[in-house]
Chain A
Amino acid sequence: MLEVSGLVKRFGGFTAVNNVSFRVDQGEILGLIGPNGSGKSTIFNMLSGTLAPTSGSILFAGYEIAGLAPHRIINGGIGRTFQIPRPFRRLSIFENVALAGFYGQGRHSRAKAEEAAERALAMVGLPTDRHASVDGLGAAGLKKLELAKALATSPKLLLADESLGGLDEAEMDQAADMLRNIRDELGITIIWVEHIMGVLMRVVDRVMVLDHGEKISEGLPSAVAGDPRVIEVYLGTDAETTQAAAAEARRRGRPMMLELRGVNAGYGTFQALFDVNLDVKAGEAVGVIGPNGAGKTTLMRVISGLIRPSRGSIKMEGVDVVATPAHKIVSLGIAHVPENRRLFPQLTVDDNLKMGAFMKDARGHYTERLEVVFDLFPRLKERRHQMAGTMSGGEQQMCAIGRAMMSNPKLLLLDEPSAGLAPVVVQQVFELVKRIRASGLTVLIVEQNVQQVLKVVDRAYLIEAGTIRASGTSAEMLASDTVKEAYLGV
């Protein structure tokens, strides 16, 4: 049905997809997995016409579709869902789906579009009532709507992009079953991209694994999960076991620094954290690992006060900070390096660092702290008069960490420091984390890159769907079946 050969996509000098070939047979469900930035979405965008391939061919039902405009590809029978649902809010659920049915099938007839919409809505279990509003839908409902829109275009091949993100466990199972039903009942072939592998592995017929734009493994789910290359990509193999003993020694007798008990948190009606307990002792480096959308960033935001927990307690050195506004939590010694760095792009490096020392107590030590940060990151000193936004990703990450360290914190929160960086730079960033550790700072680090993070932390927690699933020393976590299951679904 679909035959992809030698697919390449370059962005400038960066090769996002490198010579990938695969085929999908009629009626099959193919799972497409890989860490962040491995090229999954780029492949999807080329299949659906959003991006034109640099080279390679995509044969769909015998026709070459590489480089065609998206609307022609959709009319040809390839439907797709998007990771982040963007319905037309002013239209009813039915109108949203009918619109997709009308245009997606080449504007045949209104009656046909409405018929398709009704079928699609019934299939995913949304109300077929013509006036039901989009506003009432939760995260799961929006994902269903996304699916219904794709189905209404009467696809022969469905591209499902991260249909599970932001769903709780029951909803995930439901969504996975739905994809299976779509295949079984409508005979639609599916390619499914997902971070959350556990559920995916149960449903798909075959899996293809990408890493750094290349296909590293393909086959039956059970075989792929046992493939050493796949395990290495997701979990790494070379964490030093000696680290564990040292960590245990360090742990004993240290006072408690951060203590979370029974924390629930979320955004509006969407709950992202469920009953989270977590400890960080003084001088420790603790990691929180887990797939995308597991609640890692929310956890960081709750600790630094950017969002308020709906239940539970958060204590910093014995002081409850649940009711403390974020700008005051900083003065208790918590510095948060946010996801994607969030520098002030049009301020100089100097000014960015200056903002890190904004607090009254920190201003007095501004010059001393600047010395400390420049000592740790000599590169920043060279670039001090440069606009932060014009630096490379790795340098920006240095600047973000440096900015956080300007407030002379006791506890450093690092949210995905490796996100969006090239592999070589990722190595450098983890070297930085090691150096910060060595300076005696307590660190809580959230990462998707398990392989790297377990090398630099003493202990780690596994978080999945907003719940802490496992915890232990780095070595224990590496050996843990729960961790393997979370990432590989075995």
Chain B
Amino acid sequence: MQKLLQAVRNTQLWRSVFRHGYPDTPRNRTLAVLSNTFLHLHPVKVRRSGIRLSYTWCMGGLTFFLFLVETITGLLLMFYYRPTAEYAYQDIFGMREHVPLGIMRELHRWAAHMMVITVWLHMYRVFLTGSYKPPREFNWNVGVILLVLTLLLSFTGYLLPWDQLAVWAITVGSNMARATPFLGHEGPGASLLSFGGLNFVHAGDDARFGLLAGRFVGEGALLRFYVLHCVGLPLAAATLMAIHFWRVRKDGGISGPL
């Protein structure tokens, strides 16, 4: 058995993938991190203080993990979902009725809720350890935008089941845009933007209209939210995450006393 394993490890195929032996020596442990695309997000060595669970709560890492869960389950859900008023509800309902043991939608929804919570807790931890202080000011800002993107991802996804819960939650949420100062037709100052009794800002062109592609939550909003949820926001979040992780490294790794 040992011999067989040895033989496998000596094949050109194995050696082309793994360029080091089992990581139980300092050299191989270094190589394990350096030669792996994903692990090389980490430095080879880290401060003992920075990796205690009671210090980091692992919330940033879990947020990233949940983002990956969302990407994979979301991709699978996209195979079975058509973002039109005619089919959306049926497709979601069908997942419950026709897929035995199907939990893909559940995984997607509960992981999304957890991701909102882990982002908040990550931010809470970063604040309480003062980790936004120099030299990490910029990365804190990237983090704030990632927080907003997480909430927007969750918000756009909330509409897609196209049931009463979804449509009315988005109606309540997007009604706020109607009250944007100057840009919403019920916002302060909007009535000042008129010329000869003609309003420039009205229900057919204000901030809410832009958000929903219509005067109410209808088919236009469904398509818009779907595209943002599946393509636009994940791309933006992934880009900012790359910056976020890169800057963690460049700013000295997991924070610790200077």
Are A and B part of the same complex? no
